[in-house]
A = this chain, B = another copy of it.
Amino acid sequence: MLNYSTSEENYIKAIYHLQQMDDMVTTNELAAELKTKPASVTDMMKKLKAKKLLNYERYQGFRLTNEGNKVALGIIRRHRLWEYFLAEKLKFTWDEVHEVAEDLEHVTNKKLIDKLDEFLGFPRVDPHGDPIPDANGKIEIMKKICLTELPLNKTAIVGSVSDQSSKILELLEHKNISIGTRLEIKKRFEFDNSMEVRIGRQPAFTISKQLAENIFVLNN
């Protein structure tokens, strides 16, 4: 596995994430994601294509090749292991870890990452509930559904939260919801799509549509 620059890695990771949504990623989408200009994206796409990490024909959008996906999973492994380290060992809060991991992920020393993984006890998910690829790049995809889709009176475990801001963290802490919390929907209101949620035998409480849309529960 060759080495890639920080900039190349940031592009590769962003493409990986975007292609989970739409299958073809476009120049403008990627420019927006990376807060850069479309012209810069085109330049980099040519470079990544030359390195066989990308399938790309001009004006047609792009997808990572198998090799590109492997590289992306390596970066994501590093990112999420460092997030776990920061939260679990250094007691960073949930909303602080991403920014720091954004830099740490670019230190590409296999032994460092594999020893870190071992030191952390081979965690399976990061502090946001996203799965951590193993040393072979294998990632455990957990089937999850949005809280807005969960049937009434069926308990489920919170698996991940898509927003990572301090604002949503503040709200989730206030409502006592975190990754791993088992909850159920008791009622939905059509007027504003708010819902009544209950954790265990505690009294039910309300959460807004906006909050529910960012909470994903394990579907088992």
Contacts and interface: CB of A to CB of B under 8 A. Distances in A.
Contact of A107 (B104, B109, B118, B119): B104
A39 interface: no
A91 interface: yes
A86 B104 CA distance: 14
A169 interface: no
Contact of A91 (B91, B96, B99, B115): B115
A107 B112 CA distance: 15
Interface in A109-155: 109, 111-112, 115-116, 118-119
Contact of A89 (B104, B107, B119): B119
B115 A90 contact: yes
A74 B101 CA distance: 20
Contacts of A99: 109
A112 B89 contact: no
A4 interface: no
Contacts of A116: 90
A119 B116 CA distance: 15
A100 interface: yes
Contacts of A112: 86, 90, 100
Contacts of A89: 119
Interface in A86-106: 86, 89-92, 96, 99-100, 103-104
B100 A109 contact: yes
4 tightest A-B contacts by CB?
A90-B115, A103-B107, A100-B109, A100-B112
